[in-house]
Amino acid sequence: MKHFQTYQVFSNMPESLKFLETLSRNMWWCWHIDAIELFRRISPSRWGESVHNPIIFLNGIGREKFEELSENDGFLTHMHRVQNLFNKQVINGYEGGNKGKIAYFSMEFGIHESLPLFAGGLGILAGDHLKAAADIGLPLVGVGLFYKNGYFHQYLNHEGWQQEKFLETNIYNIPLSRAKSACGKELIVSVAGPHGNIHAMVWKIMVGQVPLFLMDTNIDDNPREIRDITSRLYPANAEMRLAQEVLLGIGGMQALKTMGISPDVCHMNEGHCAFYGIERLAQMMSDYNIDLEKARQILPRATVFTTHTPVAAGHDEFPPDMVRSYLAPFEERLGVSVDEIISWGQHKDSPADTSISMFVLALQMAEHCNGVSRLHGKVARKMWKYVWPKIPETEIPISHITNGIHIPSWISIDNAILLERYIGPEWYVKPLDRREGERINEIYDEELWRAHEMAKTRLMRVSRQCMARQHKERNAAKSLVQEAESVLDQDALTIAFARRFATYKRGTLLFSDPERFKSILTSKKYPVQFVFAGKAHPRDDAGKELIKSVVQFADTPELRHKIIFLEDYNIDMGRYLTQGADVWLNTPRRPFEACGTSGMKAAINGVLNLSILDGWWCEGYSKKTGWKIGDGEEFEDSEYQDHIESQALYNLLENEVIPRFYDRKEGNMPVRWLKMMKASMEMAIVNFSARRMVNKYNDQFYDISAKKYKKLLLNGGEGAKELALLQSRLENKWEEIWLESPVRNAAGPSRVGDTFDVTALVHLGEIKPDEINVELFFGKLKSWELISGKKVTPMTVKEDYKDGKYLYTCTLDCTAPGRYGFTARVIPSGDTLTRFTPGLIAWA
């Protein structure tokens, strides 16, 4: 076959419409309704056919249509309105431009359905993070990989078994441009690999004024096996996965440096990014002429690490021999052996052949580590407490910042119009306070119900189109295709279950009692219907079995109009479901749902959540906003748990959810249901926006880390040197510390309102009192060896007995009756990183 040279031809439009091309090449358009409507206005049918991709869309518009638009005053007025907002928020959005002071690393980014760079919730969260950063003017850049074939597309065979196909992305149909080095040359980065260097070009996509840099190994300089490294997201092959993570972390930092971007703070979105820290150490040593000890003090204080999953399989581990060749260049650059570097990703005192844990490596690289909901923070502390031996679980230095969603990206157009009318035209520009959120209650029931009905109509239409297409692709009988074109009932209670099909998410909990479920589905008095969607991981046969069982159950002739499964769940489908369903069902096995942001997307649209108390719903639930399945119990016996919670689910549906929806005593609208819709919208919009989330990251982590980073680099890293010397001194001398049991100065029981002193004799050896904190650890006794609701109060030196021996004291207040216990401990003084150095704690 002949080899053809290629070239690309784009549409030619009048000069007066050139802004349309500019707009199509910045993802800003995808969360601004007026911009979306501008494209749709040109040709609604073509806009849908283009899968909402403005580049494909504009290339399909003829010259005559463009000429017509250029003379249409109404269209030009609309375009200029969008252009003025674009100029305000993007062109003039940052004073002095985005300097990239925060670098956000992620394996995937879910920005829009036209950019296939994501697999699921982790990527959607990353995309929302970038959008929110753009909205608030945060000087942030994204760093990821460009996947030629993206994540798989799902289709089902006749039996309902999931099949996967990978489609190649046409780079000319997405808003890519080549990233340039600081001297203006097209950028190529190189990292060491087991078979030679891995070269990658770097693409740039603009998300507002936030650039997203994506590395791509599909270049001629690489042999085929290396070109395929960035072919697919989350490949099954462990060596390919490792190569991706090395390229993301090490290559990502190299790319930033070559572009002249020197971030103060780096944020790792999951442990996949942890190799970034090794490259950043080497860069700091070279750029600032400091040694490794100083660099290792600075790096974690300038790094944030967010973990997203309490499921062990979500944390990658690699055998040391697989990693060595990638780390070999760092022996010279860091001045330590590869074995030493590998040990940073191993638990202390582990054998040398222990796999390197990307989670543990990430912990070593970051002072600030957080889970993504309050419950997940607690679960993560329990899961990883072994990294900090002798530290009480409640004090493990893993905090939480609950995820949020980028509201303009997920709210329906009809609800957005209502919020603009009742709250103000810039309701989405800043997080709403409680007072502003309460204005949602002022929306007339008729208006809100009409908006919901419009979203539901769109869901019905899209569901029918999808079902008909699915049947055609399986060569189903014409009668089945025709039947699929009329599935679902606009007026019936519609419950959606859409998420990844993993066993812990229990997608078939509803099917635990098939006959009872059928009786709910076939009720003539209260019609109920279910829409399922979601993918299983290609290697997860158990997840595929769940999908198969849903599809086969739904294929029962009397249920075909009542329960459907939509293939190839993606952002676009997720938008229709979270806007148009009546109820959002979530049935994870607690506590394995880290957050679960799809429920937030439903809530902002007035779709009521019916969920296990897990993830975000522990914080979002109230009787006013939805329903809880169970009371947050955790069971040892999973089968028993499934039985208990499936019965609770049926009871809720039969006794509360369905009757509430069909309670139409006051006309044709469910007034009590609408009251819950408003409460749900207020709760989610006020408390769970991505703006609120990103502001918290900035206030709690980014700002503090940036200040530490700059301070520690002053005077050749003098502050970092002091920290390194202190840590070395503490680690070498810590064994000299011991405490005698603390003693209270009052005998017998006390009464509420009493106070008493506690003293403890502490032997510090050569360590000085200002290098440590002595604390009294106390609280109510749960058992003779367990304190519940612990409290810590500092103790001060009362007397210096010389030779490293000190008497410490503090005063305790008796504030509540009960049986209490106390003891004393010594920990290092300083910031979080110093205080919780693994192994540096001594108890009486």
Same domain, 343 and 206: yes
CATH code, 745: 2.60.40
The conformation of residue 143, written as its DSSP 8-state character, comes to: E
The conformation of residue 630, written as its DSSP 8-state character, comes to: S
What pLDDT, in 10s, does the model give residues 474-527?
Answer: 999 999 999 999 999 999 999 999 999 999 999 999 999 999 999 999 999 999
Quick one: pLDDT at residue 98?
Answer: 60
What Cα–Cα distance (Å) separates residue 480 from each residue in 293, 463, 555, 835? 69, 15, 10, 66
- Classify residue 495: in a domain, yes or no: yes
- Classify residue 709: in a domain, yes or no: no
Angle between helices 276-288 and 358-365 (to 10 degrees): 30
CA–CA distance, 54 with 47 (Å, rounded to integer) = 8
Q: Among the three residues 403, 431, 448, which one is the final residue of a domain in this structure?
A: 403
What pLDDT, in 10s, does the model give residues 762-789?
Answer: 999 999 999 999 999 999 988 766 788 7
Query: pLDDT-based confidence at 2, cuts 50/70/90?
Result: low
Same domain, 110 and 27: no
pLDDT at 430 over 80: no
Same domain, 392 and 414: no
Same domain, 75 and 125: no
Same domain, 276 and 146: yes
What pLDDT, in 10s, does the model give residues 164-174?
Answer: 999 999 999 99
Same domain, 786 and 670: no
Percent share of the chain, pLDDT over 70: 98
* DSSP three-state, residue 12: coil
Q: What is the dihedral of CA 589, 594, 598, 601, to 10 degrees?
A: 130
Neighbours of 599 (CB within 10 A): 29
Residue 419: closest CA among 604, 142, 661, 690 = 604
Neighbours of 352 (CB within 10 A): 9
What pLDDT, in 10s, does the model give residues 737-748?
Answer: 999 999 999 888
Mean pLDDT confidence for 51-68: 95
What pLDDT, in 10s, does the model give residues 595-652?
Answer: 999 999 999 999 999 999 999 999 999 999 999 999 999 998 999 999 999 999 999 9
Cα atoms found within 13 Å of the Cα of residue 782, Cβ hemisphere only: 6
What pLDDT, in 10s, does the model give residues 342-361?
Answer: 999 998 888 989 999 999 99
Q: Among the three residues 664, 688, 712, which one is the final residue of a domain in this structure?
A: 688
CATH code, 252: 3.40.50.2000
- Classify residue 713: in a domain, yes or no: no
Same domain, 300 and 328: yes
Residue 297: closest CA among 838, 727, 755 = 727
Torsions phi, psi for 826 (to 5 deg) = -125, 130
Mean pLDDT: which of 93-97, 148-152, 582-586, 631-635 is highest?
Answer: 582-586
Look at 221 and 720; give whichever has higher pLDDT: 720
Percent share of the chain, pLDDT over 90: 91
Query: pLDDT-based confidence at 799, cuts 50/70/90?
Result: very high
pLDDT at 427 over 70: yes
Same domain, 742 and 823: yes
Q: Which amino acid is at 24?
A: S
Q: What is the dihedral of CA 739, 745, 746, 752, to 10 degrees?
A: -80
Q: Among the three residues 348, 382, 403, which one is the final residue of a domain in this structure?
A: 403
Task: State which residues form the domain around 526.
Answer: 408-688
Query: How does the average pLDDT of the chain come out, rounded?
Result: 95
Burial class (CB in 10 A: 0-12, 13-18, 19+), 699: exposed
Tokens (6 digits) for 197: 């260097």
Q: Which amino acid is at 681?
A: M
Same domain, 418 and 476: yes
Same domain, 378 and 445: no
- Classify residue 723: in a domain, yes or no: no
**143 neighbors 213 (Cβ within 8 angstroms):** yes
**123 neighbors 204 (Cβ within 8 angstroms):** no
Residue 495: closest CA among 687, 686, 650, 667 = 650
- Classify residue 700: in a domain, yes or no: no
Query: Which residue, chain included where needed, has tokens 């600081």?
Result: 182
Quick one: pLDDT at residue 432?
Answer: 81
Cα atoms found within 13 Å of the Cα of residue 313, Cβ hemisphere only: 9
Quick one: pLDDT at residue 1?
Answer: 47
The conformation of residue 15, written as its DSSP 8-state character, comes to: G
CA–CA distance, 42 with 23 (Å, rounded to integer) = 14
The conformation of residue 26, written as its DSSP 8-state character, comes to: S
Residue 122: closest CA among 349, 320, 362, 308 = 308
Same domain, 678 and 742: no
Q: Give the H/E segment covering residue 23.
A: helix 18-24
Q: Give the H/E segment covering residue 305.
A: strand 303-306
Query: pLDDT-based confidence at 95, cuts 50/70/90?
Result: low
pLDDT at 3 over 70: no
Residue 755: closest CA among 793, 807, 700 = 793
Query: pLDDT-based confidence at 236, cuts 50/70/90?
Result: confident
Q: Which amino acid is at 783?
A: S
Angle between helices 276-288 and 703-733 (to 10 degrees): 90
Tokens (6 digits) for 572: 């676009």
- Classify residue 120: in a domain, yes or no: yes
- Classify residue 695: in a domain, yes or no: no
CA–CA distance, 828 with 605 (Å, rounded to integer) = 49
The conformation of residue 409, written as its DSSP 8-state character, comes to: H
pLDDT at 37 over 90: yes
Same domain, 515 and 418: yes
Beta strands in 208-285 (DSSP E): 210-216, 265-269
Count up the domains in the chain and report the number: 4
β-pairing verdict for 786-800 and 743-744 = unpaired
What pLDDT, in 10s, does the model give residues 358-383?
Answer: 999 999 999 999 999 999 999 999 99
- Classify residue 611: in a domain, yes or no: yes
Quick one: pLDDT at residue 312?
Answer: 66
CA–CA distance, 256 with 262 (Å, rounded to integer) = 7
